[in-house]
């Protein structure tokens, strides 16, 4: 699904806020720009996944929480490769899913990789490599050094199904003009690196805004940062 919105959509909502003098008030959910549904990874309508896109306005900028969820059942039909886009610079690649048994327990294995336009030093956390269900849930997060876009992936075996969840947290900018760097970076991929790959502040900001607004389907994952220990979105660290 497309991950960005047209500038005039954001500008229209901002003008409504200005007309109502609500621009500086508390965080707001924007139903006019939010949506959800189901789609498929191929043109034949197979391999369905569910998706949602929430847009909020908080502290002068538009925020987006976009999520894709898919379930791959043992013995079912699913794509040989799934590519999930974080931003123009990074894509998560899932492939080679297989099921087996060990000591009477069902196991699942999957290759978790990444296609990146960013220089070495900004790796997807804990990948590329093989994920195996006996290791527990996979939880990865990426911080794009150029875009105001963070992405979180979780993979886990529940019963006889592998559940994949991919969530993007973005700052779309104030929509005051179409040349704001964070907006053009998301659209074109052009921009300068300015963030550390251990800076999860944007992810936390969008997550907390969604929580404050009582939005559904929020999940709380503990992540291990390379140099700064554990990170949880609802904490102050």
Percentage of the chain beyond pLDDT 70 is 85
C-alpha span between 58 and 209 (Å, rounded):
8
Cis peptide bond N-terminal to 53, omega within 30: no
pLDDT of residue 100: 95
Cα angle 18-21-25, degrees, rounded to a multiple of 5: 105
Is the predicted pLDDT of residue 65 greater than 80, yes or no?
Answer: yes
**Which tokens in the block code for residue 25?**
């008030």
Give residue-wise pLDDT tens across range 194-228: 777 778 899 999 999 999 999 998 999 888 776 66
C-alpha span between 83 and 114 (Å, rounded):
9
pLDDT of residue 231: 84
pLDDT of residue 110: 95
pLDDT of residue 125: 43
pLDDT of residue 33: 92
pLDDT of residue 133: 97
C-alpha span between 84 and 90 (Å, rounded):
9
Is the predicted pLDDT of residue 167 greater than 60, yes or no?
Answer: yes
Helical segments of 58-215, H only: 181-188, 201-212
Is the predicted pLDDT of residue 116 greater than 70, yes or no?
Answer: yes
pLDDT of residue 126: 44
Mean of all residue pLDDT scores within the chain: 84
C-alpha span between 173 and 192 (Å, rounded):
16
- Given a contact cutoff of 8 angstroms between Cβ atoms, the answer to whether 114 and 90 are in contact is yes
pLDDT of residue 13: 86
| Spatial CB neighbours of 59, under 8 Å, sequence gap ≥ 6 | 27
Residue corresponding to tokens 């999940």? 219
Question: Out of 14-28, 62-76, 98-112, 119-133, which region has the weakest mean confidence (pLDDT)?
Answer: 119-133
Is the predicted pLDDT of residue 64 greater than 60, yes or no?
Answer: yes
pTM of the predicted structure, to 2 decimals: 0.88
CB 81: neighbour CB atoms within 10 A?
Answer: 12
pLDDT of residue 124: 44
| Spatial CB neighbours of 131, under 8 Å, sequence gap ≥ 6 | 109, 110, 111, 112, 138, 155
- Given a contact cutoff of 8 angstroms between Cβ atoms, the answer to whether 162 and 75 are in contact is no
């Amino acid at each position: 699904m497309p991950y960005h919105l047209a500038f005039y959509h954001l500008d229209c909502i901002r003008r409504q806020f200005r007309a109502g003098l609500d621009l500086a008030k508390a965080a707001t959910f924007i139903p006019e720009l939010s949506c959800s549904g189901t789609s498929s990874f191929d043109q034949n309508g197979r391999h369905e996944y569910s998706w949602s896109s929430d847009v909020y306005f908080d502290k002068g900028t538009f925020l987006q929480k976009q999520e894709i969820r898919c379930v791959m059942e043992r013995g079912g039909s699913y794509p040989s490769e799934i590519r999930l886009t974080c931003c123009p610079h990074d894509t998560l690649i899932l492939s080679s899913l297989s099921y087996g048994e060990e000591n009477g327990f069902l196991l699942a294995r999957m290759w978790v990789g990444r296609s990146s336009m960013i220089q070495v030093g900004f790796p997807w956390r804990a990948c590329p490599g093989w994920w195996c269900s006996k290791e527990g849930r996979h939880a990865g997060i990426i911080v794009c050094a150029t875009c105001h876009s963070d992405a979180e992936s979780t993979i886990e075996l529940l019963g006889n199904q592998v559940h994949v969840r991919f969530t993007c947290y973005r700052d779309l900018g104030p929509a005051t003009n179409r040349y704001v760097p964070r907006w053009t970076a998301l659209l074109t991929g052009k921009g300068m690196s300015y963030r550390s790959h251990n800076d999860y502040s944007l992810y936390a900001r969008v997550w907390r805004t969604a929580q404050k607004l009582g939005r559904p389907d929020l999940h709380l994952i503990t992540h291990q940062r390379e140099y700064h220990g554990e990170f949880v979105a609802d904490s102050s660290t």
